[in-house]
């Protein structure tokens, strides 16, 4: 079986189940949870200290620390600034950034910090029910009173390979939980079966906080074309809070096309549409033709926003007029970059050039290395976004290659 060796968070770990279930060697995205070297044990967040010299050293491999890049073919000037090390991110309406990152024991936890980098706090460390369990992929409730994240199941198969799949970008052996941020009380929301064919990914709230959407896997990946990431459904439920706690109710399932891969990217600001990515049809290889769609939640009508290459992580701007997403379009090494488009799919413009040889944004890549833009989240004012970005040193040996996870602050100006 031949596949492109592509790396995309949100799905790049899932392909790992092919090794677990079929014992085959696939040069593909995704088994880095255990081998990721974030320099976590060396970073000052463990002592709660934000150190500017540390953050500069962390990104010292970059040719720039903060640079304004202006391209005559695009309408935006882009300023890129290192924010911290870590992974999946969400920027709250009340201006607090949540993200996941490995602690000193190699277990993912959810942290928060202000946009200026101050007041970092480990949120998930405050509840004993989460001790020793991986926690990640945070999603703020619009009120900031609650946060939802993925939590490792208390019981599941053990082993080095299983540990790699516990990365929050995989969702296998994980459930959705909610936390009351003020009281630190936690509430399990789902209870999926234990097995390599089950998982949850990418919870997102509607703008009024009444609905929660996510993706859920119900059948493991296979060698069959179009099922490389398994079978998934989009789910939407009522998010209910009362004196007895927090729960999901009236769960609805959606498969707008065939029974293939669906990754949730959240609601439009008016909550009328749901953004997602999918290969949509049987026989369509996910890694070479995964596209962004909008689904009208009333009519179920689909609007296709991209039509080729690998596309993922679509995020509406706060005013609903723009969408940022990642794609490997025009990148010979199949790495991904951030692009922006109008909400109807027109006016596509490239924002970053992480994989363009000779460009000032490109890391000092060796042959066989790749830069991957992944999850992102807009600031409340819509002028910038935080972005999860990682580098794989050797895409031909993904099981042992060093993976460096970082979060960037990207500011846009017309």
Tens-place pLDDT, residues 312-343: 999 999 999 999 999 999 998 889 999 999 99
Cα 33 from chain centroid? 14
Q: Which residues of 66-88 are buried (b: 16+ CB within 10 A; e: fewer)?
A: eeebeeeeeeeebebbbbbbbbb
pLDDT tens for 17-26 read 444 443 333 3
Q: What contacts 189, CB < 8 A, 6 or more positions away?
A: 148, 175, 176, 177, 178, 212, 246, 247, 248
Output the pLDDT for position 117: 96
CA 28 to each of CA 18, 136, 384: distance values in angstroms, whole numbers, following the listed order: 10, 23, 31
Residue 414, class by beta-carbon neighbours within 10 Å (0-12 exposed, 13-18 middle, 19+ buried)?
Answer: exposed
Q: What CATH number is given for 14-413 in this structure? A: 2.120.10.30
Residue 365: strand, helix, or coil: coil
Cα(100)–Cα(111) distance, integer angstroms: 6
The b/e string for 9-18 (b: 16+ C-beta within 10 A; e otherwise) is bbbbbbbbbb
Lowest mean pLDDT among 35-44, 54-63, 157-166, 399-408: 35-44
Spans of all domains in the chain: 14-413
Please choose, from the candidates 249, 252, 135, the residue with its C-alpha nearest in 3D space to the C-alpha of residue 186: 135
Distance between CA atoms of 99 and 96, rounded to whole angstroms? Answer: 10
Give which of 311, 180, 313, 315 is closest to 239, Cα–Cα: 180
Among 51-60, 67-76, 222-231, name the most confident range: 222-231
Tell me the per-residue pLDDT of 94-122, one tens digit each, with 9 for 90 and over: 999 999 999 988 899 999 999 999 999 99
Determine the 3-state secondary structure of 160 from DSSP.
Answer: helix
pLDDT tens digits for range 57-100: 333 333 333 334 334 345 889 999 999 999 999 999 999 999 99
55-61, Cβ contacts within 8 angstroms, sequence gap of 24 or more: 55/82, 55/84, 55/117, 56/82, 58/82, 58/85, 58/406, 59/406, 61/363, 61/364
- Residue 229: DSSP 8-state: T
Mean pLDDT of 178-189: 97
* CA distances for 391 relative to 8, 26, 326, 368, angstroms: 11, 19, 15, 11
Q: With DSSP H G I counted as helix, E B as strand and the rest as coil, what are the percentages for the chain, rounded to 5?
A: 10, 40, 50
Residues paired with 237 in a beta bridge: 212
């Amino acid at each position: 079986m031949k596949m492109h060796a592509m790396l995309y968070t949100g799905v790049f770990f899932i392909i790992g189940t092919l090794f677990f279930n079929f014992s085959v060697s696939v040069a593909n995205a995704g088994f880095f949870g255990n081998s990721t070297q974030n320099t976590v044990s060396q970073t000052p967040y463990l002592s709660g200290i934000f150190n500017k010299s540390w953050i500069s050293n962390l990104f010292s491999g970059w040719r720039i620390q903060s640079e304004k890049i202006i391209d005559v073919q695009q309408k935006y000037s882009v300023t890129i600034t290192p924010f911290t090390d870590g992974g999946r991110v969400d920027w709250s309406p009340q201006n607090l950034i949540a993200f996941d990152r490995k602690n000193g024991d190699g277990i993912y936890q959810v942290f928060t910090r202000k946009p200026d980098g101050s007041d970092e706090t480990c949120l998930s460390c405050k509840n004993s029910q989460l001790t020793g369990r991986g926690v990640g992929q945070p999603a703020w409730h619009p009120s900031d009173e609650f946060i939802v994240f993925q939590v490792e199941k208390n019981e599941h198969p053990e082993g080095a390979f299983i540990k790699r799949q516990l990365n929050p970008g995989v969702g296998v052996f994980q459930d959705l939980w909610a936390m009351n941020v003020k009281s630190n009380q936690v509430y399990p929301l789902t209870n999926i079966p234990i097995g390599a064919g089950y998982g949850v990914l990418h919870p997102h709230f509607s703008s009024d906080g009444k609905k929660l959407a996510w993706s859920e896997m119900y059948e493991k990946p296979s060698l069959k074309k179009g099922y490389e990431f398994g079978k998934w459904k989009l789910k939407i439920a009522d998010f209910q809070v009362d004196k007895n706690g927090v729960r999901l109710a009236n769960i609805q399932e959606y498969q707008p096309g065939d029974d293939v891969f669906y990754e949730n990217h959240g609601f439009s600001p008016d909550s009328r549409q749901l953004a997602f990515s999918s290969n949509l049809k049987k026989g369509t290889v996910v890694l070479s033709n995964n596209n962004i769609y909008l689904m009208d939640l009333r009519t179920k009508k689909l609007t296709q926003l991209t039509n080729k290459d690998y596309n993922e992580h679509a995020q509406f701007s706060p005013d609903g007029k723009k969408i940022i997403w990642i794609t490997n379009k025009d990148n010979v090494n199949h790495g991904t970059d951030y692009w922006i488009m109008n909400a109807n799919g027109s006016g596509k413009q490239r924002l970053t050039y992480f994989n363009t040889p000779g460009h000032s944004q490109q890391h000092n890549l060796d042959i066989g290395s790749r830069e991957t833009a992944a999850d992102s989240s807009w600031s409340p004012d819509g002028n910038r976004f935080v972005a999860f970005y990682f580098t794989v040193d050797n895409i031909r040996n993904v099981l042992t290659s060093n993976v460096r996870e970082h979060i960037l602050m990207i500011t846009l100006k017309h």
